[in-house]
Amino acid sequence: MVRGLLLAKIGVFLLCLIPLVIMGSAVVTGAAGPNPVEYLSHETGQWGLRLLLLTLAVSPLRRLTGWAWLIRFRRMLGLFAFFYVCCHFLVFAVFDHSLGLPSILEDIVKRPYILVGTLAFLLLIPLAITSTNSMMRRLGRRWKALHRFSYLIAALAVLHFFMLVKVDTREPLIYAGVLAALLLLRLRPGQWLARRTASRREVQKEA
Ligand code: HEM
């Protein structure tokens, strides 16, 4: 069982590396097109967002399927989301601004969609830092509260995408739809209604 889990973890780790390998080979072979920086910026942003949403999908999927083991992959998926977002930021900072801090800051302030993306990125950092077991133990209930920010981060990332597309909003709309569905599953309207009805009955009984 332990060996099976380890193999599965290695498998998921390798799967998460595939986009990076594809990006690297596309740049080397010229398949990335005439503007490899733009290609890298798009791909790293897309994979950061996809993995962010996949991480958020783990808990509802576990609840719907009853597959408790799914939770064992959540941290790795979240850290890979962070990794691709870091690459995304690095592409911007290195290739667009040659690591010049004043120029990076000026761009962040000047373009609202970059400001929104930066906010999402900054909020993601404490989640990545506190993703270890020891941090989980140390923070206790506060850990859960902190990690609920992942929904806000995903919402900011989707907004960032919406703000930068000029004509065709289909792609960010799909991401927004997925996020809305995940939020609905998170709120569990069925359970909420059942709890509300139960508490109303209690009040009526006491009256
Ligand atoms: C959680 C954080 C972030 C996520 C998930 C994210 C995601 C995305 C996505 C999905 C795209 C669109 C890719 C496409 O057009 O196919 C994008 C584009 C872009 N993002 Fe981000 N982003 C994040 C943070 C940032 C940050 C911190 C910066 C820079 C400070 C940034 C700068 C850009 C730029 C320059 C583009 C390309 C715009 C263009 O089409 O020219 N992003 N991002």
pLDDT band at 188 (very low <50, low <70, confident <90, very high): confident
Whether residue 20 contacts residue 64, with contact meaning beta carbons closer than 8 Å, is answered with: no
- pTM to 2 decimal places: 0.92
> Ligand 1: distance of its center to the CA of 36 in Å?
15
Q: How far is the CA of 56 from the centre of ligand 1 (A)?
A: 19
User: Would you say 18 and 140 are in contact if contact means Cβ atoms under 8 Å apart?
Assistant: no
The torsion region of residue 66 among left (phi > 0), alpha (psi -120 to 50) and beta comes to: left
**Token couple for 35:** 């503007």
Query: Which of 113, 161, 179 gets mutated to test ligand 1 (max ligand atoms within 8 A of its CB)?
Result: 161
Listed in sequence order, the residues at least 6 apart from 82 whose beta carbon sits closer than 8 Å to its beta carbon are 48, 124, 125, 127, 128
Q: Is 49 close to ligand 1, i.e. is its CB under 6 Å away?
A: yes
Query: Does the Cβ of 51 fall within 6 Å of ligand 1?
Result: no
Q: Where are the domains of the chain?
A: 2-206
Average pLDDT value for the chain: 94
Q: How confident is the model at residue 3 (pLDDT cuts 50, 70, 90)?
A: confident
Q: Indicate if ligand 1 lies below 6 Å from the C-beta of 41.
A: yes
Ligand 1 centroid distance, CA of 159 (Å): 10
